[in-house]
Structure 1
């Protein structure tokens, strides 16, 4: 009987906190903090600001379509394409805000919850980068279609300066491709500054939690 009582009292004693539980408590406290140490606040602030800029740009393009581009079919198509691009970008930014709000809810399984949402957030960032590249490519193709006749005349083999014209067009193609890649690199770096470094901070905390 004494041995049974001892075993029962031992089982009823509170377990000592482990390193993982202490780390999880620290992480939860950081994510619920209203100070600058909370990376979710930075993520939400930057995403909200970006969404506001997208809405403003969409409104300006709508104004442009109604007043400045109403008498030009090519400009109207260009504005419509930009508004479609802004709609896609706005949707991606809104989805990022939703992921941030889900992170702030702090599910029971904090490790898996944050890990999955960080993966989703990075996927949305990559989609945003690809949308930018596709948009620039469509802009270039639109200009080429509008100036299709002029370009053919410029590259007509019967022209005495045909070789020079061909070289200039080739140089222009290389320059455009370089600008598209530069825009992609700049956009990717900007995403890293706005979001990536805070996601890295969260992932470092998760690695500590998983050890």
Structure 2
């Protein structure tokens, strides 16, 4: 009887902790690989490419201010504002790269470590979206300030068709709001394509890791 009991115990399926250990080992192996199956690899590739675009746009803006706008003070100011906004965006993208570098450093508590970093990465994505909306709004505001005399003259009630001018102004404002909203929605969609789907894959793997517990 004791031999039969031992045989049944030996043939029994492994318990959940073994399944959890195997899943964690598989996740660690995936995160350590340098292939396209590794979500961190694709995230880092997209973030590096985006940072290079920001740097290129910054250089072009500076070139524009020094060459084409060297005799136009307003154009130089506009280019400087664009460069400042690009610096903010560049810092956000660079910070995302730092978070990815932290995620590549595996720790004992892999689940909590990755979960907090993924949450931080998503916050940086949302901040990037908000900065985009604020940037467009600030650029339009700067243009209005620079052209304030022309705008005030156009909306002056002394004008013969001032009511028509105000209607056009309100229409342009509505178009501006629509453009800002469309830019925000398109930015979120693009971020989902570049980063969100890979983060979703990581979170799905973490849910599988958590399930046996």
Same fold (TM over 0.5): yes
| Cα deviation 1:109-133 (Å, max 9, x = unaligned) | 1000000000110011111111111
Q: Deviation above 6 Å: which 4+ runs of structure 1?
A: none
5+ residue gaps, structure 1: 1-14
Alignment of 1:1-211 (within 5 A): 18-211=18-211
| Cα deviation 1:13-36 (Å, max 9, x = unaligned) | xx9652211111111111112222
CA distance in 1, matches of 2:52, 2:72: 29
| Cα deviation 1:92-125 (Å, max 9, x = unaligned) | 1111111111111111110000000001100111
The root-mean-square deviation of aligned C-alpha atoms, in Å, is 1.2
CA distance in 2, matches of 1:147, 1:87: 26
| Cα deviation 1:39-82 (Å, max 9, x = unaligned) | 00000000011111111111111111111111111111111111
CA distance in 1, matches of 2:138, 2:77: 11
CA distance in 1, matches of 2:139, 2:36: 40
Report the count of equivalent residues: 197
CA distance in 2, matches of 1:93, 1:147: 33
TM-score normalized by structure 2?
0.89
CA distance in 2, matches of 1:158, 1:58: 43
5+ residue gaps, structure 2: 1-13
CA distance in 1, matches of 2:107, 2:85: 34
| Cα deviation 1:146-184 (Å, max 9, x = unaligned) | 111111111111222111111100000000111111111
SS in 2 for 1:18: helix
CA distance in 1, matches of 2:98, 2:185: 26
CA distance in 2, matches of 1:148, 1:62: 25
TM-score normalized by structure 1?
0.90
